[in-house]
Amino acid sequence: MHLIVVGLSHKTAPVEIREKLAVPESRLGEALGRLCTYPGIREGVLLSTCNRVEVYAVVDDVEAGYGRIQQFLADTHLSLSSEQLTPHLYWHTGDRAIAHLFRVAASLDSMIIGESQILGQLKDAFEVALGHKTTGVIMNKVVKKAISVAKRVRTETKIAETAVSVSYAAVELAKKIFSNLDEKSVLLVGAGEMAKLAARHLIAQGVRQVRITTRTPQHAVDLAAKFGGTPVPFEQFKDEMASADIVLVSTGAAHYIIGAGDVERAVEQRGNRPMFLIDISVPRNIDPAVRHVDNAFLFDIDDLTQRVEQNRAERLQEAEKAERMVVEEVGVMIEWMKSLEVTPTIVALRNRVDDIKRTEVDKALGRLGHLSPQDKELVENLAASIVNKLIHRTMVTLKSEVNSSNGPAFVEAARRFFHLDQSSSQGPESGRESDRPAYLDPVSPESEDEEHESPLRKRGR
């Protein structure tokens, strides 16, 4: 079994390609069902967002799996041929596939590093896959680990703690001035998009009173209804400044509409309580001389942009820590994956020796019909003890070497020495190996010491 990922993202495909491949939530289940009908695809999760479309799958063969998933994507979106998709796709398998998933979950591969939306989208995609039963032991383990890694990154780094948008940088600065935004009031002057977005962020952070003014009275009324605020006539907004802790200005005026004198009067009326002014207008609408007014804190678009760039640099530093965590967690996951590779051999070896033991014990007991039940049990236990002693060291070696560079060689040697690849066609119980899932948990090493003990010694206790 192999874990692979095939997909495209904002890094490899323009929006006109991504939007054609996007799968709406209402169709995810149907798409997953079709994915798992392709030959050799055992498990699947489909992640579709505005910035990426990716298929994570467990397949029998890597190259065939790549081709079938690419064909699945083309079949799902008939306006794009497989050949048209190829230049935009990336393919990963093994540790690279796991690392990619972990990085996606931790938002290290996002357009904005540290954004939180992608983790929720991955959880939703996983829930849909679980609901439609398109995942199994491998995919469940890997996706759950990816979610765990993302949470660890957010807990142990500051990758998501600083603002990387101008509108949220305004909120971050407001928090530094007021510490707590609960019950603070905002005056929004103008209706620029960044100012409106900043106002939304402020409200989300606890601001309760919002006053809105624009040169068009009806526009102010409409915005006030949207924000749950109060419209203010444009010609009166300076009188309202004294009651505003935060003043957000974003108009199309080509000149200053708030001067130092206006702010001085407002601060005085406020009893010298601090006032935070944010000028997102270009050209600026607040006279820079306001910076010299006591208890008035003015920031313009350049100040906010500088803050954003500083925060981006800090996020990149935190991202380096997160990348190291991903590498560490991938190593853990790879060890688990490798343990799955040896499990079928261990199961097949156990089945093979058990079949041989059963056959030989039955022959012996058939010739020794006069034995008492106690003596028959002794023969059974003696045979089991001999078999366990013979394969014990092989089992221990396979488990201890599975994560070494020679692991595959040990597995191959065991299969040849014990003719395990032929056992599926021999004997009435030959189906036992092929019927067992390839990713059953390995036999616990704790049980081997007891198996190794002679039944004669057990009986003598």
Q: Is 50 a catalytic residue?
A: yes
Residue with tokens 């003719």: 419
Q: Which of 11, 25, 27, 50 is catalytic?
A: 50
* Residue whose tokens read 């799996």: 65
Does a cis peptide bond (omega within 30 degrees of 0) precede residue 283?
yes
**Active site members:** 50
